[in-house]
Amino acid sequence: MTQEISISNREDILYYLKTKSKKKIQNLYSLANTLIEKFKDNKVHFRGLIEISNVCEKNCLYCGLRRDLKIDRYTMTKEEILNAAKFCSDKGYGSLCIQSGEITTQKRLEFLVDVISTIKKEYNLQMTLSFGEMPKKSLQKLFDAGGRRYLLRIETSNEKLYEKLHPKDGKHEFKTRVNTLKDLKSIGYQVGTGIMIGLPYQTYDDLANDLLFFKKLDIDMLGMGPYVPHPKSPIYIVKPRLKDAYAISIKMVALARLFLKDVNIAATTALQVFDKKGREKALSAGANILMPIVTPINLRKNYLIYPDKPCIEDTKEECFNCLNARLRSINKEMGKNEFGDSIHFSKRTNNL
Ligand code: SAH
Ligand code: SF4
């Protein structure tokens, strides 16, 4: 028997973040699952993730793709990207997500406009973009080309903590990140953001404030995952304060579902670094989105944002079969050929 609870303020969130009661935690997961099934039945929507380039102008102190690291850099060709898009279309994924390091050149912008408009013409796939910060004009061009959702994690809503995790070189500004999220919204994108959980210096208070930040910004999609320390990154030496980033991440998914209600929430790949069933756990606790990697297999080893990334040796086909079996094991199914747009977005834009 589940017991009704309400997650409506900071105190409620903090209480559940801190509780160790297995019964209360199980109750929380079960209520979060009931709520998402009320909105979307037992459907899980897929976004095939194409990691089109690991070249990055930025130097975030936690990331395996940061500019200063000597790794093999690649950018996929238009043909390679279209092949990956075709796979998503053939398999009925309904959506794809194109992601890369941050590059702000005119040449890159033109390339992206070309790729996005071609995918839009050739396939009936809803497109999520995730290329980091860009000037509003560029984001508008990508929208005009056919991009409809944009994923830009705030990483943490604590400005002081954000500053500790990024170089002080004028190119990693918290305010620019927040303003970019506002630009995306005013252009008309479905706006997705999120955080890393268990970051150095991060506290439960920070996490509770993150959920309040999402609510205030009225976001449509959420992607939160555990921080995975990268041994070659500068921040590696700072040990996080919060223990068990994985367990806290699942709790955050459930709390976000009950607090924000109708947004799309991803069961992120990083969850699986800690537990083979990490993504299923999140999907049973309020998440409703999966992002199977469809990047060509020979390139995946070069997109190691964090170490021990799962699925880098599975072919696209194996990945498809594996995920469907995983969904069956938790009584869920793929929303075949459906866009699976954020209900929150529809309500917000139709003033429902
Ligand atoms: N360049 C774009 C998109 C690629 S990075 C951007 O930064 O927005 C995508 C996400 O990877 C980042 O938003 C961050 O939350 C996550 N990430 C980076 N390093 C990580 C790490 N060490 N552990 C877990 N997630 C990490
Ligand atoms: Fe680049 Fe994104 Fe990594 Fe920062 S998090 S270094 S912007 S790929």
Q: Is the beta carbon of 87 within 6 A of some atom in ligand 1?
A: no
The arithmetic mean of pLDDT across residues 112-122, rounded, is 98
270: nearest Cα among 224, 235, 238: 224
Q: Which ligand is nearest to the CA of 230?
A: 1
Q: Tell me the C-alpha distance between 294 and 93, whole Å.
A: 11
Cβ proximity of 231 and 307 under 8 Å: yes
127: nearest Cα among 144, 104, 105: 144
Report all structural domains of the chain as residue ranges with CATH numbers, in order of start.
Answer: 43-242+287-350 (3.20.20.70)
> What is the distance, to the nearest Å, from the Cα of residue 20 to the centroid of all Cα atoms in its chain?
27
Q: What is the pLDDT of residue 148?
A: 97
Q: Is the beta carbon of 157 within 6 A of some atom in ligand 1?
A: no
pLDDT-wise least confident of 82-91, 124-133, 295-304, 320-329: 320-329
Cα(23) to ligand 1 centroid in Å equals 33
Q: Tell me the C-alpha distance between 329 and 233, whole Å.
A: 37
> What is the distance, to the nearest Å, from the Cα of residue 77 to the centroid of all Cα atoms in its chain?
24
pLDDT-wise least confident of 108-112, 127-131, 303-307: 303-307
Q: What is the pLDDT of residue 323?
A: 87
- Phi first, then psi, for residue 153 (nearest 5°) are -70, 140
Query: Mutate which of 51, 52, 55, 60 to test ligand 2's pocket (most atoms within 8 Å of Cβ)?
Result: 60
> What confidence tier does 320 reach under pLDDT thresholds 50, 70, 90?
confident
Summarised one tens digit per residue, pLDDT across range 191-244 is 999 999 999 999 999 999 999 999 999 999 999 999 999 999 999 999 999 999
- Supply 276's token pair: 């083979």
pLDDT beyond 90 at 315: no
244: nearest Cα among 31, 20, 60, 29: 20
Instruction: Write out the H or E segment, with its range, that includes residue 163.
Output: helix 159-164
Give the side-chain half-sphere CA count within 13 A for 241: 9
Q: Tell me the C-alpha distance between 285 and 25, whole Å.
A: 10
Cα–Cα distances (Å) from 23 to 30, 144, 227, 246, 341, in that order, read 11, 49, 26, 18, 33
Q: Tell me the C-alpha distance between 234 and 109, whole Å.
A: 30
Q: Is 113 exposed, middle or buried (0-12, 13-18, 19+ CB in 10 A)?
A: middle
Summarised one tens digit per residue, pLDDT across range 234-270 is 999 999 999 999 999 999 999 999 999 999 999 999 9
Q: Is the beta carbon of 146 within 6 A of some atom in ligand 2?
A: no
Atom of ligand 2 nearest to the CA of 101: 8
Residue with tokens 């690649």, as numbered in its chain: 74
